[in-house]
């Protein structure tokens, strides 16, 4: 489950988190608008923005790449309309869709694989070993928990609709399994005539793929960068910080977050500094309000004004459930 305010719960994190998140759904404005279209970033590069629409789970950002003889998508979102936009883009390009690269196993980054594979049966999916393990071990447990929510008469209709969407995705989870594992040292790959560099870091989900488009210098980092706050649901903060420093050393020009607008290198550095100070604050005896105020000040113009009032409740949740929580099995993502 994900957290309060943003409608992005995940069943594996525990029902209590789900209900906290869903109770807050109506407390903040939507952070984006539906009916999104791909936005050009560079020659042969587009961004399909993700969503934080009120009343439903989110979609992560998707990076769309056109090569000499084929197309590549990095992260496929969650909902049918996001997948439909990806497919419409592929049809407009008039080239075969060669591959989808999933940065990690959270549903808002790979749920669209089902429709993409239906559209392009020859498509190859790339992902980490952690993604495969999540499909085989975590998702069956999550499905069981979601079904128990449907069986609970206290579950409201809006929640039921969201649960049913995720259950439909779990029913097709074989489509999430990677055909090619991204593992070992960072390396170059050529897919559809597009030259990419890929690697794996840890810190967000146990194995998180990054993708550098070498022609444009755009680096997709999945949920290593998210707004309006870092998403700590399955995170190991110490590994996250170390990975961010290695990502900083990659010769990129711009960073595509898992959620939020594309960033310059200077903006990425600003985010990294803010993350360091937030985690230091969480390790101190300072209050959530003080840490939230510091996060807002550190991010400055990177943070949409409409999201600022949601930050303290979101960080308060993460402080309680993750950053200041005693060691629990939930922290298994932090094993070396």
Judge contact between 64 and 83, C-beta under 8 A. no
| CA–CA gap between residue 241 and residue 202 (Å, rounded) | 10
Q: How many CB atoms lie within 10 A of CB 16?
A: 10
Within 10 A of 316 (CB to CB), how many other CB atoms are there?
A: 17
SS3 20: helix
Alpha carbons within 13 A on the beta-carbon side of 293: 5
So what's the pLDDT on residue 2?
A: 37
CA distances from 95 to 45, 101, 217 (A): 14, 17, 23
The phi and psi torsions of 34 (rounded to 5 degrees) equal -70, -175
Structure tokens at 136: 């085989």
Cα 329–chain centre separation? 22
How many Å apart are CA 171 and CA 173, to the nearest integer?
6
Structural domains of the chain, with CATH: 11-334 (3.60.15.10)
For the chain, what's the residue count? 336
Closest CA to 28 of 267, 278, 311, 315: 311
Could you read off the pLDDT of 172-221 as tens digits, one per residue? Answer: 999 999 999 999 999 999 999 999 999 999 999 999 999 999 999 999 99
Check: CB of residue 137 under 8 Å from CB of residue 144: no
pTM to 2 decimals? 0.90
Query: Mapping DSSP to helix (H, G, I), strand (E, B) and coil, where does residue 47 land?
Result: strand
What string of DSSP letters covers 220-233? E-GGGSBSSS---T
Question: Could you read off the pLDDT tens digit of each residue along the chain, which spans 336 residues?
Answer: 333 333 344 433 333 333 334 333 333 333 334 468 999 999 999 999 998 877 889 999 999 999 999 999 999 999 999 999 999 999 999 999 999 999 999 999 999 999 999 999 999 999 999 999 999 999 999 999 999 999 999 999 999 999 999 999 999 999 999 999 999 999 999 999 999 999 999 999 999 999 999 999 999 999 999 999 999 999 999 999 999 999 999 999 999 999 999 999 999 999 999 999 999 999 999 999 999 999 999 999 999 888 888 999 999 999 999 999 886 555 455 665
């Amino acid at each position: 489950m994900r957290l309060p305010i943003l409608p992005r719960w995940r069943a594996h994190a525990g029902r209590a988190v789900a209900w906290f998140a869903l109770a807050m759904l109506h407390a903040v404005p939507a952070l984006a608008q539906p009916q999104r279209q791909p936005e050009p970033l560079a020659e042969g590069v587009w961004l399909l923005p993700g969503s934080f629409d009120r009343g439903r789970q989110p979609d992560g950002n998707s990076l769309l790449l056109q090569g000499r003889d084929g197309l590549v998508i990095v992260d496929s979102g969650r909902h049918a309309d996001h997948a439909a936009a990806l497919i419409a883009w592929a049809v407009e390009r008039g080239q075969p869709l060669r591959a989808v690269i999933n940065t990690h196993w959270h549903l808002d980054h790979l749920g669209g694989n089902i429709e993409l594979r239906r559209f392009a049966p020859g498509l190859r999916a790339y992902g980490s070993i952690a993604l495969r393990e999540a499909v085989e071990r975590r998702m069956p447990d999550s499905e069981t928990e979601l079904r128990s929510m449907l069986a609970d008469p206290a579950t409201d209709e809006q929640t039921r609709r969201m649960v049913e969407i995720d259950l439909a995705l779990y029913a097709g989870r074989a489509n999430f399994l990677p055909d090619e594992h991204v593992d070992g040292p960072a390396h170059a790959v050529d897919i559809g005539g597009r030259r990419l560099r890929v690697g794996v870091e840890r810190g967000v989900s146990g194995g998180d793929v990054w993708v550098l488009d070498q022609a444009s210098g755009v680096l997709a980092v999945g949920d290593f960068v998210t707004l309006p706050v870092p998403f700590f649901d399955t995170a190991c903060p110490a590994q996250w910080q170390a990975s961010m420093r290695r990502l900083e050393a990659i010769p990129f020009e711009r960073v595509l977050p898992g959620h939020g607008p594309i960033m310059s290198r200077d903006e990425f550095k600003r985010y990294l500094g803010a993350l360091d100070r937030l985690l230091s604050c969480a390790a101190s005896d300072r209050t959530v309000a003080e840490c939230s105020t510091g996060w807002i000040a550190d991010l400055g113009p990177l943070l949409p004004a409409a999201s600022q009032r949601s930050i303290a409740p979101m960080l308060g949740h993460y402080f309680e459930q993750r950053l200041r929580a005693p060691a629990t099995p939930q922290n298994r993502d932090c094993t070396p």
